[in-house]
Structure 1
Amino acid sequence: MRKITMLIVAALIAFSGSVKADEGMWLLPLISKLNVNQMNDMGLKLSAEDIYSINNSSLKDAVVIFGGGCTGELISDKGLILTNHHCGYGNIQALSSVDHNYLKDGFWAKSLEEELPSKGLAVTFLKYMNDVTEKVLEGTTDAMEEGERNKIIAENKKALIEEASKDNKLTITVQSYLEGNQYFIIAYQKYTDVRFVGAPPSSIGKFGFDTDNWMWPRHTGDFSMFRVYADKDGNPAEYSEDNVPLKPVHHLPVSLKGVEMDDFAMTIGFPGSTNRYLTSWGIEERMNIVNDSRIIPRGAKQELWHEAMMADEKTNIQYASKYSRSTNYWKNSIGMNRGLKKLKVIDSKREIEAEFAAWINESDERKELYGSVLSELENAYSKRATNLKAQYYMIECMFRGTEIISLGTKTSRLADALEEGNEEKVSEITNSIKASLEAFYKDYNVNLDQKVFATMLKLYHDYIDAQFYPSFYNDVVAKKYKNDFTAYANVVFKKSVFTSQEKFETFLAKPSLKVLQKDPVYIAAVSAIEKYKEIQGGLTQYNEVEDRNNRLFLKGLMAMNPDKVYYSDANFTMRLSYGKVGNYEPKDAVIYKHFTTLEGVMEKEQPGNYEFEVPAKLKELYETKDYGQYADKDGSLHVCFTTNNDITGGNSGSPVINANGELFGLAFDGNWEAMSGDIAFETELQKCINVDIRYVLFVIDKYAGATNLIEEMTLVK
């Protein structure tokens, strides 16, 4: 295994400059070998130890996983967390009501006592990560069957986790990198007492809403604030009035110096997923199956949601977070397909594959190890296409599409326990379901979901081969309702116990297998689960072929190009990216400046259009130019700016850090012209869109009057 590890290290250390400085999501323990000299040449004043250290305070200690899919940063010595408005959106929505609509009106705690507990929210700190490639791969060979190899790897990982978990309460995981050619053991510490501190109204925090999402120029104050609490000793603890604000190991000083062209910019965060090493067949699959399976169902569902949300304030609050989550990657998928076609990424990949094939044919040893890699990948993608399309459509149309089927799936284990006559298990499962019902029904509109139910099930019927229909399609919808999905939905929602909290709780108080098995929602849910498992079973062998050959493909590419840096794809572990502030040219005769100002907010205002409403207080501050210490040197108030940092989903909320290690922006989006970025980084067009920290402070101070929050920060002028 030493040979594999040395191959990786050699490929990493031999930085040739063939990868531009703005491309790459880098592992922090490796930056001292790979990146710090390049970063210093670009203007960074810090050392690698200042950024990542296990024994001393460093920047990594101020950056957290926020919730389950975003990044946040500590900006005071009292546990104050800054993240994006859209990252806190679900928590803000959960705390909102018609009487206290924090989404519409915003919220600011002027004291610790006014902060609102955010049930279910956690923040997670990275404690350390170490390379354990040799130990994980010990006992494996490339010639092994993938199943046997995976079994050995799983056993090795288990042993490492057990050893690292002794005598501590950290969460330990072993994570794969470089398509399974590299492994790190990672230790995390999670805090579960997190409280809502403040957020602007959506007219600032989501200004532009879906129209401006993924677009530049941007004028969105996309930020929200929370605070992490601990017990008196600084340890994680469940919510208690006795808990105190966490004193973090490190918090970021906040810069008032402003943003200039070519300023050094660094982000640290938790990017979710990229696939930069996909082959041409993998990209075709992503475009034609994965993305299209997201675009079509979500588009239909969102039309129904939007109509209902615009007609009723309560429904708007209930579905605001759901709608935002759905539309975000719906629009991303549309933009990605557009970008991949425009940039001819598939053609570029085929050139790499042709070069790889020629390199293989130069050596019998290479032929033995890599000779079948490309043909096996092409075959696997081809053979799994129909199953994969059915799988993604089932997820989007049933498990994510209609909420009542998703709820119904929770009772499959209950049915098993009832059939077994296991009263203890029945009690355990019913209590677990009951605990989730208040949150579900609080944000559930049964009449709206009935429309979505009929639309989604018909869409699945129209787009997917009959062999992939769940049994209730033929046994019930076709036989009894002649494929009239509206008529079927009318009966389902009339008869089911799942349609209201009262009916479902009455059932759970005395659960009956007979009642459950006759319930039309349960029938549909269980039928969908069974068909999903069947579809998944048809994918397993091809998924294993893909995993094995993607690993060998990347291993071969690194051997073919030993002087080139290969960074690992994003996998929601801490990464660093670096670049510079800058503008870009999206098309002929058009140049986008690297920043926007409050003047642009006023230019975009459309009274009566919720996406572009401007609060009266903000207009007043604009008219009087009352910007205080947050104005730029030219007197304007900057709102957003762009850099060429490499980010993706999960980086939302990442701090944008200047050359001195100070916070000067908050990453929140990418640009429409480079939506192909998860597959292929576009060096000329790809931009990271950030909120200027001075606009954040201006809103907190001048707009909201929450000077208590400003006072606890470390401001640098």
Structure 2
Amino acid sequence: MRLKSALFVSASLAFMLPGAARADEGMWTFDAFPAARMKAAYGWAPDQAWLDKTRAAAVRLTGGCSASFVSATGLILTNHHCVATCVEENSTADNNILVKGFTARSTAEEKKCAGQQAEVVTSIRDVTQTVKAAIGSATGADAVRARNAATAKLESEGCTDKATTRCQVVSLYGGGQYKLYTYRKYSDVRLAWAPEAQAAQFGGDPDNFNFPRYSMDASFLRAYENGKPVATPAFLKWNPRAPQDGEATFVVGNPGSTSRLFTGEQLAFQRELALPIIVTMTSEFRGRLINAMAQSAERKREGAETLSGIENSLKVYIGRMKALNDPAFTGKLAAAEASLKQASAGKPAIGNPWGDIAKTVEANRAIYVERLFALPQGDLFNYALALVRVAEERAKPNGERLPGFTDSALPLLEKNLTDERPVTPWLDQLQMEWSLSKAREYLGADHQQTKLLLGRESPEALAARLVTGTKLADPTVRKALLDGGAAAIAASTDPMIVYARSVDPNARALQKRYDAEVDAPLTAARARLADARFAAYGDSNYPDATFTLRISYGKVQGWTERGTPVPTRTVLGGTFDRATGAEPFDLPPAFAANQARIDKNVTYDFVTTNDIIGGNSGSPVIDKAGTVIGAAFDGNINSLGGNYGYDGTLNRTVVVSTAAVQEALEKIYPAPNLVAELRGRRR
């Protein structure tokens, strides 16, 4: 259900050469949209006014999803799975709105989403020369410090109004370019409408990354400021119509990350070291979580969304391993890399970035396990670590701080620390003891880092002592420590704060080693690799995804799977045909109750050829007229190779249609106020 950066591909994937985008391939930055290329393929391309209007309506959610404004009063369309945590946190045992669904009858009933922030790009500025000049001839840790200082200065100077704006310098092409993104931010985001979880998650894991689909994976949020809905004159017109086969579509959102520009050495590191550990760990945590949830109905409710996310991630990680262990697929990757090497031969300015990257990979292998297990997991520990670090970092000049603690980043960090949100103690304890046990397993009981993490306690006893003893679940306690600064942190006897103080220095030392031995030389080598791609492929080169705003173009089109044509769409009535009465194909209660009223011929979900990846969840799917006709929520099984390459014959984006959402708003989960608002009339 959750659109992630999955990497599974079949041996038949027609991998595109890195940087040589063809067909509908590409997650393009808005300042480099390939209008001429699209016009040659489609006979039409958007002009600058179309792009500017669309960009102004696109929203990035800090929870890791995409969205869009769809009214003049701050209404935001996104996926249900992007707001499920908010819905769960606003649920109780007596009123489980995750299960029942939620409809605010007026703005007064809309519920706050803790930790959420909506951001809209207002400008993109190239700052490559400024950052590269600051780095100069520096190497190792000095190069990282110079880069971080330059980006911190650019961000601070670019956003003097920290209350309403956020600036972020983004590295593209692995360090080949740097862009300063400026955002208008809205720090008060509230839930307006969400269907039953079973409607959004119908089909569960068996249907995940598959099609046909019958999923109402859509929800509405609203942005507020000063306690009132914000005015958002730049919004996408709501268009509840069925898509037309072959029509051009655009997906506008914030794809999280891709690895299409990785070298063979980097891929080998993932295949041989990183992925086997991650798959094993994730599998074990899933088992522990299922066992813990079986102990009570309340635990089953409290752990439901965590389990859903873990199962999705496990499917992704297993897919990555399959891809990187497929000789046919890796052979195509190797051939693409060889082609670029040949095109770059005899160019002294480029040198041998592949050899330099290989050296950084070896350095990373030496410290990977220690870095992976430097710190335990869990919300309460994360609060403690953030408080310890912010107290130390705020005392430093802005340019000398750790990334994530600069002036531009602190407002969001402080919001996350002080927002009121429930903490589930048993789940937090489970995460912490699991991560500590895996650290002992992979490092060994006699390793100095294991001794630092555990002392003379077991993972279970340590986690229980810290979670039951800390007061950090209380936002007023966290705010007092935040406001009290270094003195308050140093004086604190809260066991989780004491523990975070004890393990942080080692984690910082490992990060410094990584900066010097891996990050700095890797960035320098990848910048030269970017030069090689630009020389070979020119402006057909697009950067890997970085959770920044991108636009892809494609069309409504099915595909052929094992010789059988797959249709472009499903209809609402198919839900009733597919239902079996048993999880995860049990019929959503509101569907059953309103079966006679539902127009079963309304288009439910559909597929397009748009190039997307994890982070695009909730992205608006837009037609040529600039109206929204759906929200992207998944990809088909073939698209799981999207991290490494795009195959236009097989890769598909899966979309919930606005027509289905409109039917739900009118007949299944009635929300007359939202129906009126989407039509441009407020009740």
> Normalising by the residue count of structure 1, what TM-score does the alignment of the two structures yield?
0.79
User: What CA deviation, in whole Å up to 9, does each residue of 1:41-81 have, x standing for no partner?
Assistant: 526574232122xxxxx111211112332111111222211
1:201-350 counterparts in 2 under 5 A?
A: 201-229=196-224, 237-238=225-226, 240=227, 243=228, 245-342=229-326, 344-350=328-334
Query: Alignment length, in residue pairs?
Result: 637
Match of 1:35 in 2: 35
Q: CA deviation at 1:407?
A: 5.4
Give the Cα–Cα distance (whole angstroms) in 2 for the partners of residues 515 and 189 of structure 1.
36
1:572 aligned to 533, 542, 547, which one? Answer: 547
Give the Cα–Cα distance (whole angstroms) in 2 for the partners of residues 170 and 437 of structure 1.
19
CA-based RMSD: 3.8
User: What CA deviation, in whole Å up to 9, does each residue of 1:270-315 have, x standing for no partner?
Assistant: 1121121000111122333333333222222222223333543432
Distance 1:638 1:360, change over 3 A: closer
Match of 1:539 in 2: 514
Match of 2:592 in 1: 619
Give the Cα–Cα distance (whole angstroms) in 2 for the partners of residues 438 and 712 of structure 1.
29
Match of 1:669 in 2: 634
Match of 1:597 in 2: 571
Q: CA deviation at 1:648?
A: 1.5
2:76 aligned to 81, 84, 108, which one? Answer: 81
1:558 aligns with 2:560: no
Distance 1:680 1:210, change over 3 A: same
Distance 1:686 1:336, change over 3 A: farther
Q: Which amino acid aligns with 1:373?
A: P
User: What CA deviation, in whole Å up to 9, does each residue of 1:318-366 have, x standing for no partner?
Assistant: 33343344433332222222234347443233223333444454x3xx2
Q: Secondary structure at the match of 1:128?
A: strand
Give the Cα–Cα distance (whole angstroms) in 2 for the partners of residues 83 and 360 of structure 1.
43
Query: Does structure 2 conserve the Cα–Cα contact (< 8 Å) formed by 1:390 and 1:468?
Result: no
Q: CA deviation at 1:370?
A: 3.2
Structure number having the greater helix percentage? 1
Higher relative contact order (CA 8 A, sep 6+): 2
1:444-455 counterparts in 2 under 5 A?
A: 444-446=424-426, 449-450=428-429, 452-455=431-434
1:646-665 counterparts in 2 under 5 A?
A: 646-665=611-630
1:495-510 counterparts in 2 under 5 A?
A: 496-497=469-470
Query: Does structure 1 conserve the Cα–Cα contact (< 8 Å) formed by 2:111 and 2:192?
Result: yes
Query: Does structure 2 conserve the Cα–Cα contact (< 8 Å) formed by 1:219 and 1:596?
Result: yes
Q: CA deviation at 1:110?
A: 2.0
Query: Does structure 1 conserve the Cα–Cα contact (< 8 Å) formed by 2:115 and 2:416?
Result: no
1:145 aligns with 2:139: yes
2:338 aligned to 354, 375, 379, which one? Answer: 354
Match of 2:61 in 1: 66
Give the Cα–Cα distance (whole angstroms) in 2 for the partners of residues 83 and 172 of structure 1.
23
Give the Cα–Cα distance (whole angstroms) in 1 for the partners of residues 573 and 381 of structure 2.
47
Larger deviation, residues 303-312 vs 577-586: 303-312
Distance 1:325 1:187, change over 3 A: same
Give the Cα–Cα distance (whole angstroms) in 2 for the partners of residues 592 and 266 of structure 1.
21
Give the Cα–Cα distance (whole angstroms) in 2 for the partners of residues 77 and 514 of structure 1.
49
Match of 1:385 in 2: 365
2:185 aligned to 187, 190, 193, which one? Answer: 190
User: What CA deviation, in whole Å up to 9, does each residue of 1:209-268 have, x standing for no partner?
Assistant: 333333322211101112223xxxxxxx34x3xx2x333122222223312322211011
Give the Cα–Cα distance (whole angstroms) in 1 for the partners of residues 158 and 430 of structure 2.
51
Match of 1:424 in 2: none
Give the Cα–Cα distance (whole angstroms) in 1 for the partners of residues 37 and 473 of structure 2.
61
Query: Does structure 1 conserve the Cα–Cα contact (< 8 Å) formed by 2:114 and 2:419?
Result: no
Give the Cα–Cα distance (whole angstroms) in 2 for the partners of residues 638 and 444 of structure 1.
39
Q: CA deviation at 1:385?
A: 1.1
> Normalising by the residue count of structure 2, what TM-score does the alignment of the two structures yield?
0.82
Match of 1:460 in 2: 439
Match of 1:639 in 2: 604
Give the Cα–Cα distance (whole angstroms) in 1 for the partners of residues 500 and 236 of structure 2.
48
Larger deviation, residues 591-600 vs 526-535: 526-535
Match of 1:7 in 2: none
Query: Does structure 2 conserve the Cα–Cα contact (< 8 Å) formed by 1:700 and 1:706?
Result: yes
Q: Secondary structure at the match of 1:561?
A: helix
Query: Does structure 2 conserve the Cα–Cα contact (< 8 Å) formed by 1:595 and 1:642?
Result: yes
Give the Cα–Cα distance (whole angstroms) in 1 for the partners of residues 416 and 675 of structure 2.
38
User: What CA deviation, in whole Å up to 9, does each residue of 1:466-525 have, x standing for no partner?
Assistant: 546332467414xxxxxx655x459747984569879x99x99999989949x5x66765
Distance 1:459 1:148, change over 3 A: closer
Q: CA deviation at 1:269?
A: 1.0
Q: Secondary structure at the match of 1:217?
A: coil
Give the Cα–Cα distance (whole angstroms) in 2 for the partners of residues 499 and 49 of structure 1.
48
Q: Secondary structure at the match of 1:124?
A: strand
Query: Does structure 1 conserve the Cα–Cα contact (< 8 Å) formed by 2:125 and 2:180?
Result: yes
Q: CA deviation at 1:433?
A: 11
Q: Secondary structure at the match of 1:689?
A: strand
Distance 1:698 1:360, change over 3 A: closer
Q: Secondary structure at the match of 2:174?
A: helix
Q: Which amino acid aligns with 2:598?
A: D
Distance 1:474 1:370, change over 3 A: same
Larger Rg belongs to: 1
Distance 1:49 1:615, change over 3 A: same
Query: Does structure 1 conserve the Cα–Cα contact (< 8 Å) formed by 2:65 and 2:254?
Result: yes
User: What CA deviation, in whole Å up to 9, does each residue of 1:642-695 have, x standing for no partner?
Assistant: 111111222111100112111111001122333221222233322211101111
Query: Does structure 2 conserve the Cα–Cα contact (< 8 Å) formed by 1:602 and 1:614?
Result: yes
Q: Which amino acid aligns with 2:187?
A: T
Q: CA deviation at 1:158?
A: 5.2
Distance 1:468 1:372, change over 3 A: farther
Give the Cα–Cα distance (whole angstroms) in 1 for the partners of residues 32 and 299 of structure 2.
48
Q: Secondary structure at the match of 1:215?
A: coil
Give the Cα–Cα distance (whole angstroms) in 2 for the partners of residues 99 and 162 of structure 1.
46
